Structure 1
Amino acid sequence: MQKSLYTQENKILLQLLYETRKMAGLTQVQLGALLDEDQTFVSKVESGLRRLDLIELNAWCVAVGLSLPTFIARYERSLGRTA
Protein backbone atom coordinates (compact mmCIF):
# COMPACT_ATOMS: atom_id res chain seq x y z
CA MET A 1 0.00 0.00 0.00
CA GLN A 2 1.29 3.43 -0.95
CA LYS A 3 1.84 5.87 1.91
CA SER A 4 -1.22 8.08 2.08
CA LEU A 5 0.86 11.27 2.08
CA TYR A 6 1.69 10.66 -1.57
CA THR A 7 -1.72 9.66 -2.87
CA GLN A 8 -4.16 11.52 -5.07
CA GLU A 9 -6.67 11.25 -2.24
CA ASN A 10 -4.39 13.25 0.07
CA LYS A 11 -3.82 15.90 -2.60
CA ILE A 12 -7.58 16.25 -2.95
CA LEU A 13 -7.97 16.54 0.83
CA LEU A 14 -5.35 19.29 1.03
CA GLN A 15 -6.97 21.16 -1.85
CA LEU A 16 -10.36 20.91 -0.17
CA LEU A 17 -8.98 22.23 3.13
CA TYR A 18 -7.49 25.19 1.26
CA GLU A 19 -10.69 25.81 -0.71
CA THR A 20 -12.92 25.71 2.35
CA ARG A 21 -10.75 28.31 4.07
CA LYS A 22 -10.78 30.56 1.02
CA MET A 23 -14.55 30.13 0.53
CA ALA A 24 -15.03 31.20 4.14
CA GLY A 25 -13.09 34.38 3.33
CA LEU A 26 -10.41 33.61 5.90
CA THR A 27 -6.69 34.15 5.74
CA GLN A 28 -4.35 31.62 7.29
CA VAL A 29 -3.82 34.05 10.17
CA GLN A 30 -7.57 34.40 10.77
CA LEU A 31 -8.22 30.66 10.62
CA GLY A 32 -5.29 30.03 12.92
CA ALA A 33 -6.75 32.45 15.45
CA LEU A 34 -10.14 30.70 15.29
CA LEU A 35 -8.37 27.39 15.92
CA ASP A 36 -6.24 28.86 18.72
CA GLU A 37 -3.18 28.17 16.58
CA ASP A 38 -0.82 30.35 14.60
CA GLN A 39 -0.58 30.90 10.85
CA THR A 40 2.19 28.33 10.48
CA PHE A 41 -0.14 25.58 11.72
CA VAL A 42 -2.62 26.35 8.94
CA SER A 43 0.18 26.61 6.38
CA LYS A 44 1.64 23.26 7.41
CA VAL A 45 -1.77 21.58 7.23
CA GLU A 46 -2.55 23.01 3.79
CA SER A 47 0.87 22.05 2.44
CA GLY A 48 0.71 18.52 3.84
CA LEU A 49 3.48 18.91 6.39
CA ARG A 50 1.02 18.52 9.26
CA ARG A 51 -1.91 16.12 9.39
CA LEU A 52 -5.18 16.69 11.17
CA ASP A 53 -6.83 14.15 13.42
CA LEU A 54 -10.62 13.83 13.39
CA ILE A 55 -11.12 16.30 16.24
CA GLU A 56 -8.87 18.87 14.57
CA LEU A 57 -10.64 18.35 11.23
CA ASN A 58 -13.98 18.95 12.94
CA ALA A 59 -12.63 22.16 14.51
CA TRP A 60 -11.39 23.29 11.05
CA CYS A 61 -14.84 22.62 9.61
CA VAL A 62 -16.60 24.53 12.38
CA ALA A 63 -14.20 27.46 11.94
CA VAL A 64 -14.94 27.69 8.20
CA GLY A 65 -18.67 27.26 8.73
CA LEU A 66 -19.15 23.67 7.57
CA SER A 67 -20.34 20.59 9.35
CA LEU A 68 -18.02 17.61 9.31
CA PRO A 69 -20.55 15.54 7.32
CA THR A 70 -20.75 18.29 4.68
CA PHE A 71 -16.96 18.38 4.40
CA ILE A 72 -16.82 14.58 4.07
CA ALA A 73 -19.51 14.66 1.39
CA ARG A 74 -17.51 17.25 -0.57
CA TYR A 75 -14.41 15.11 -0.20
CA GLU A 76 -16.26 12.03 -1.44
CA ARG A 77 -17.63 13.97 -4.43
CA SER A 78 -14.13 15.24 -5.22
CA LEU A 79 -12.99 11.63 -5.29
CA GLY A 80 -15.80 10.79 -7.70
CA ARG A 81 -17.76 8.88 -5.07
CA THR A 82 -21.15 9.54 -3.59
CA ALA A 83 -21.38 9.93 0.16
Structure 2
Amino acid sequence: MEKSVYREENLVLLRLLKQCRVEAGLTQAHFAQVLERPQSFASDIERGLRRLDLVQLRDICTALNIGLVEFVQRFEDELALSKGAGE
Protein backbone atom coordinates (compact mmCIF):
# COMPACT_ATOMS: atom_id res chain seq x y z
CA MET A 1 0.00 0.00 0.00
CA GLU A 2 1.43 3.40 -0.95
CA LYS A 3 2.03 6.09 1.67
CA SER A 4 -1.05 8.21 2.36
CA VAL A 5 0.71 11.44 1.40
CA TYR A 6 0.86 10.18 -2.19
CA ARG A 7 -2.71 8.94 -2.38
CA GLU A 8 -5.54 10.75 -4.16
CA GLU A 9 -7.40 10.95 -0.86
CA ASN A 10 -4.67 13.18 0.59
CA LEU A 11 -4.89 15.55 -2.38
CA VAL A 12 -8.65 15.77 -1.86
CA LEU A 13 -8.09 16.51 1.84
CA LEU A 14 -5.61 19.30 1.10
CA ARG A 15 -7.89 20.82 -1.53
CA LEU A 16 -10.86 20.70 0.86
CA LEU A 17 -8.92 22.29 3.72
CA LYS A 18 -7.96 25.22 1.49
CA GLN A 19 -11.49 25.48 0.11
CA CYS A 20 -12.95 25.66 3.63
CA ARG A 21 -10.40 28.31 4.63
CA VAL A 22 -11.31 30.42 1.62
CA GLU A 23 -15.04 29.92 2.27
CA ALA A 24 -14.46 31.10 5.84
CA GLY A 25 -12.94 34.29 4.40
CA LEU A 26 -9.54 33.70 5.99
CA THR A 27 -6.12 34.29 4.54
CA GLN A 28 -3.43 31.81 5.53
CA ALA A 29 -2.02 34.43 7.87
CA HIS A 30 -5.34 35.08 9.61
CA PHE A 31 -6.11 31.36 9.76
CA ALA A 32 -2.75 30.72 11.42
CA GLN A 33 -3.38 33.61 13.81
CA VAL A 34 -6.72 32.07 14.87
CA LEU A 35 -4.86 28.80 15.52
CA GLU A 36 -2.14 30.72 17.40
CA ARG A 37 0.48 29.29 15.05
CA PRO A 38 2.90 30.88 12.56
CA GLN A 39 1.72 31.47 9.00
CA SER A 40 4.11 28.78 7.82
CA PHE A 41 1.99 26.24 9.74
CA ALA A 42 -1.03 27.02 7.54
CA SER A 43 1.10 26.97 4.41
CA ASP A 44 2.68 23.64 5.34
CA ILE A 45 -0.75 22.09 5.93
CA GLU A 46 -2.10 23.20 2.55
CA ARG A 47 1.03 22.05 0.72
CA GLY A 48 0.90 18.65 2.39
CA LEU A 49 4.16 19.11 4.27
CA ARG A 50 2.54 18.73 7.68
CA ARG A 51 0.47 15.72 8.67
CA LEU A 52 -2.49 16.29 10.94
CA ASP A 53 -3.86 14.21 13.76
CA LEU A 54 -7.55 14.14 14.65
CA VAL A 55 -7.22 16.67 17.46
CA GLN A 56 -5.46 19.15 15.14
CA LEU A 57 -8.09 18.59 12.45
CA ARG A 58 -10.81 19.30 15.01
CA ASP A 59 -9.04 22.55 16.02
CA ILE A 60 -8.77 23.51 12.36
CA CYS A 61 -12.46 22.83 11.78
CA THR A 62 -13.31 25.00 14.79
CA ALA A 63 -11.15 27.82 13.38
CA LEU A 64 -12.93 27.44 10.03
CA ASN A 65 -16.34 27.42 11.71
CA ILE A 66 -17.24 23.97 10.41
CA GLY A 67 -18.03 20.91 12.48
CA LEU A 68 -15.66 17.98 12.31
CA VAL A 69 -18.47 15.62 11.26
CA GLU A 70 -19.59 18.05 8.54
CA PHE A 71 -15.98 18.34 7.31
CA VAL A 72 -15.58 14.56 7.16
CA GLN A 73 -18.87 14.27 5.25
CA ARG A 74 -17.68 16.88 2.74
CA PHE A 75 -14.42 14.94 2.44
CA GLU A 76 -16.30 11.71 1.72
CA ASP A 77 -18.50 13.53 -0.83
CA GLU A 78 -15.42 14.97 -2.56
CA LEU A 79 -13.81 11.52 -2.65
CA ALA A 80 -16.92 10.06 -4.27
CA LEU A 81 -16.88 12.84 -6.87
CA SER A 82 -13.18 12.41 -7.62
CA LYS A 83 -13.52 8.65 -7.97
CA GLY A 84 -16.52 9.08 -10.28
CA ALA A 85 -14.58 11.54 -12.44
CA GLY A 86 -11.62 9.18 -12.67
CA GLU A 87 -13.64 6.29 -14.04
Matched, 1:17 2:30: no
Cα distance, 1:52 vs structure 2: 1.0
Letter in 2 for 1:74: R
How many residues of Structure 1 are paired with residues of Structure 2 in the alignment? 81
Aligned twin of 1:48: 48
**Runs of 4+ in structure 1 over 6 Å off:** none
Distance in 1 (alpha carbons) for counterparts of 2:29 and 2:80: 32
Instruction: Give the superposed CA RMSD.
Output: 1.0
Structure 1 stretches of 5 or more lacking a match? none
- Output aligned runs, 1:24-63, within 5 Å: 24-63=24-63
Give the TM-score, by structure 2 length. Answer: 0.91
Identity value in percent? 44
Higher Cα Rg, which structure: 2
Letter in 1 for 2:58: N
Structure 2 stretches of 5 or more lacking a match? 82-87
